[in-house]
Structure formats: C-alpha cells, structure tokens
Amino acid sequence: RTLLEQTRRAFIKVGFGSELVGLVGGSSALQLERPVQVAMIQSLHGRTLEQHARWLRRFSLAVVDEAHAAFAHTYASLLRRLGESCRVLGVTATPFRSSPEERLEQVFTGAAFGPSISTLIDRRLLVRPTVYGGPPPRAGGTAAPFEAEVDAIIAKYRARARGVRAVAFCARVADSKLLAARMAQAGIAAAHLDGDTSAAERESLFDRMRE
C-alpha cells in the first residue's frame, strides 16, 4: 500500500490530477474508470485478471517495474492479456536473469540504458555514499550475534549521524524490534515497522520521518 501511495503522489506531483490515478492493491476500492492505474502485480493478478480481462485490454501503455521478473507466471499471464497495440516498457536496475535460458529479449524487443550511478551523483540526483566498515569477524570468521552489536551500532550512530534522520535495515524482525527498543532506551526516538505493520501506522511513521 505504501509503494502504491508513493507512486500515486509522484504522478500527482508531475501534473496528473488525483482523479486520474487509481490504485489496485491492499484495501483500495477499484476505480476502473481512471485512465492511470498503479498496481501491485500480486493484487492485479489475483483479483482483477479474470474478472476484468476486457478492462486490461484498453490500456495503451504498461510499465513493468522490476522487469527482470517478467518471466514469472504472474507477469507473463498479465502481459498476454494486454491489447495487441499496448506498448510494454520494462524498467529494472538488474537487467539479467540467473538462468541462461531466460533472456529479457524474449519479452522485450529493445533495450535502453540509463545514466550510471556516478553520473547521477554528478548531476546531484543521488547522494554520494559514505561507507563505514562494521566490526571485524570473531575468531573463526563467524559474525557476532546481533544483540552483542547493538551498543556499537548506537555508538556509531551518535558518532557519525547524531540527530540525523536514519533508516536501519535489519536481517530479522526480532533484530529490528530490539534495535528500536534499545535506541529508545538510549534517548533516541526510534520505531520498528515490518510487513505486518498496519497501513495507518506505517503512514504515520513515514509522516513523522518527513517532518
């Protein structure tokens, strides 16, 4: 739902009226009369593909994000049901497949490559990253348990980014909850969210980040 809303807001920001953009996914009510539809592939395939096959055929352009996944059954089923005159644009940062038998040219007839990351940084569209190394592995090459690293993570945040908005990606939900709790104990405003976080709470957290 969050990704759908972000995309909808991006359309509105570049000039599309809010009444022109519909959402397919989450708890959103279908607004099939709107000319622009932003959809999650799972939702579109699950509840719309069979019921609204004729509706799918009226579009003149389909933009497929993460287009390297276009070989998946869900994508292939959708693409087959689009009208013959519909143009399909695939966008991806990883234009390759792990299997040599699966080539994107089997789905898309041409390729155009965008600017490199370094070019986007030079144009001030991306921020040049600053990378700090983590703690060295313990004897035997094994990583320390996450709980043992929390204090070091908080110390690094204070040393490198005190007071700055930050996002921490953790390998496990339990690790994220632990880090948020320990940061709060240290007097740093922090919150945890995962795939089970409600849409309302998720949006509230993002709004607080933007403030």
Inter-CA distances, 42 with 25, 46, 72, 125, 148, Å? 8, 6, 11, 31, 38
pTM here is 0.66
Question: Mean of the pLDDT values across residues 45-67?
Answer: 81
Predicted local confidence at residue 104, as pLDDT: 83
**Amino acid in position 3:** L
Asked if residue 184 has pLDDT above 80, the reply is yes
pLDDT tens, position by position, 19-48: 999 888 766 677 888 999 998 887 777 656
Of the candidates 67, 58, 66, the residue with the CA atom closest to the CA atom of residue 22: 58
CA distance 165 to 5: 22
